[in-house]
Amino acid sequence: MAWRIEFRPNARADLRKLDPSVQRRLLTFLEHRVVASGDPRRLGKPLRGEKRELWSYRVGSYRIVCLLEDERLVVVVVSVGHRRDVYR
């Protein structure tokens, strides 16, 4: 079974606020790099502190913050945005 991508409603709204070219770049990264790798933990890094169950992926100046659900093989996108805003 392969990993799938799901978006929380607020993450989908965050994505829509971005420039269309940035949207395509982030979605392409998720589909062709994270999911296609077979193990989403090979890329990105775990967050620390209160958000230690989340993973962050770097795409230029933008970050994709995700929750990895191993039992369902789902990458749940929690937040998307510029690096100065996304962790707040």
The predicted pLDDT at position 44 comes to 92
Convert 31-54 to b/e letters by CB count within 10 Å (16 or more is b): eeebbeeeebeeebeeeeeeeeeb
**Single-letter amino acid, residue 45:** K
For each of the domains in the chain, give its residue range(s) and CATH number, in order of start.
4-82 (3.30.2310.20)
pLDDT digits (tens, 9 = 90+) for 24-74: 999 999 999 999 988 999 999 999 999 999 999 999 999 999 999 999 999
Question: Residue 87's pLDDT is what?
Answer: 84
Q: Using 50, 70 and 90 to split pLDDT, how confident is the model at 20?
A: very high
State the pLDDT at residue 38: 87
**Average pLDDT for 5-33:** 96
